[in-house]
């Protein structure tokens, strides 16, 4: 069988990886990284007291100890190892991760982050986004925010599908998740089991935030397609009330109580929605799916059923993006700036360009 174009008998050294955040998603990413040839985990950072000082293998549920203690002192760790890339999974919000990202950049480390707002940060805080881009270029590294949503299903995938359209008149993306099949923290995050009054109170207190990333996805689509949006409209989060008793393994939802939530967002042109995104996650969804409808020439109607599993796919797209980020020019990137996403099926180093 013919070898991969860049596969040689003598490959460069393993890419040295730092894990920044080893919660549920960070642990998924770490376990996948361990299975990929060409990657070597050299450190892990987390602020949780029950993880600090423990062996990383134990923290992430690996089959064996890894001989790497989870550290809370990021500066000390970054100063003691020569890492190529950091896989970052700590927060959804740009303001929270900005100090962590700048610290990594200043240590000349490339970054792939699951921070939802980093997927297209210019609509969150243009100043912070431009500062990250400038700093990354100064230090010769690349920074990317990605994930399954935002990062792929509601932005990169519809952008890619639009490539076969002569004209585009309207885009609609809908994601429906049966939360009964997801982690308990996710079920709690969407308010499953609450009364409508409790749900409303938790929204008011900011405990339930809805889906983070709809604004970023619309902005990325608009940028890629050259759309001049008047504005992006984000609808308030709404509860999905159970019309019959439903349950997961952990939560029982009585009729009339909150099974989950729904939220919509619109990219407006000439007073009309040109891009519509609809996100629904609730216990008892009769069908899970991801659908993309493009009205244009030709029309596109794509449906993935059941929907793509968020946790597994997020870990995959982070790991699969490693060679594309390493190969990219320095700066802050979004998924629309990189080559078409693809699986890494060989040694990661086989995909690296010679520099």
Token duo for residue 30 = 């770490």
Q: Which residues contact 303 (CB under 8 A, 6 or more apart)?
A: 289, 290, 291, 292
Tokens of 128: 């912070």
Q: Hey, is 241 helix, strand or coil?
A: strand
What does each C-alpha distance from 60 to 56, 70, 82, 316 come to in angstroms?
A: 6, 10, 23, 16
Which stretches of the chain score pLDDT less than 70? 1-10, 355
Q: What is the pLDDT of residue 9?
A: 45
Crossing angle of helices 94-106 and 126-139, in 10° steps, is 10
Task: Give the predicted TM-score (pTM) of the model.
Answer: 0.93
Burial class of 341 by CB neighbour count within 10 A (0 to 12, 13 to 18, 19+): middle
CA-to-CA distance for 273 and 58, rounded, in angstroms? 48
Is 126 in a helix, a strand, or coil? helix
User: Distance (Å, rounded) from C-alpha 254 to C-alpha 243?
Assistant: 8
Could you check whether the bond before residue 150 is cis, i.e. omega within 30 degrees of 0?
A: yes
At residue 354, the pLDDT reads 79
- Kindly report the number of other CB atoms within 10 A of residue 129's CB atom: 20
The encoded tokens of residue 219 equal: 């902005």
Give the pLDDT score at 242: 94
Q: Compute the distance between CA of residue 218 and CA of residue 155 in angstroms, rounded to an integer.
A: 7
Query: What pLDDT was estimated at residue 340?
Result: 95
Q: Where does 114-243 show beta strands of DSSP type E?
A: 142-145, 167-178, 231-234, 238-241
The dihedrals phi and psi of 55, each to the nearest 5 degrees, come to -65, 135
């Amino acid at each position: 069988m013919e070898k991969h174009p860049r596969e040689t008998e003598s490959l460069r050294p393993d890419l040295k990886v730092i894990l920044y955040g080893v919660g549920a998603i960070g642990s998924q990413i770490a376990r996948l990284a361990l299975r990929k040839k060409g990657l070597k985990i050299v450190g892990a950072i987390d602020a949780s007291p029950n993880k600090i000082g423990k062996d990383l293998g134990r923290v992430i549920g690996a089959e064996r100890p890894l001989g790497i203690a989870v550290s809370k002192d990021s500066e000390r760790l970054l100063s003691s190892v020569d890492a190529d890339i950091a896989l970052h999974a700590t927060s959804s919000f740009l303001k929270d991760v900005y100090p962590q990202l700048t610290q990594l950049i200043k240590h000349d480390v490339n970054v792939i982050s699951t921070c939802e707002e980093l997927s297209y940060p210019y609509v969150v805080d243009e100043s912070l986004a431009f500062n990250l881009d400038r700093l990354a270029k100064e230090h010769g590294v690349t920074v990317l925010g990605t994930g399954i949503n935002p990062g792929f299903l509601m932005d990169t995938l519809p952008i890619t599908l639009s490539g076969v359209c002569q004209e585009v008149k309207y885009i609609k993306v809908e994601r429906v998740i049966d939360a009964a099949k997801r982690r308990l923290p996710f079920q709690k995050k969407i308010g499953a089991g609450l009364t409508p009054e409790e749900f409303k109170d938790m929204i008011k207190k900011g405990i339930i935030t809805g889906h983070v990333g709809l604004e970023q996805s619309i902005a990325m689509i608009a940028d890629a397609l050259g759309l001049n949006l008047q504005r992006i409209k984000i609808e308030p989060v709404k509860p999905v009330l159970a019309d019959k008793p439903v349950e997961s393994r952990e939560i029982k939802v009585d009729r009339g109580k909150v099974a989950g939530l729904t939220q919509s967002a619109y990219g407006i042109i000439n007073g009309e929605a040109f891009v519509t995104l609809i996100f629904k996650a609730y216990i008892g969804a009769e069908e899970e799916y991801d659908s993309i409808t493009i009205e244009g020439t030709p029309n596109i109607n794509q449906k993935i059923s059941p929907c793509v599993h968020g946790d597994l796919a997020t870990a995959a797209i982070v790991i699969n993006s490693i060679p594309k980020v390493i190969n990219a020019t320095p700066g802050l990137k979004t998924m629309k700036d990189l080559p078409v996403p693809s699986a890494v099926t060989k040694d990661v180093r086989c995909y690296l360009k010679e520099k």
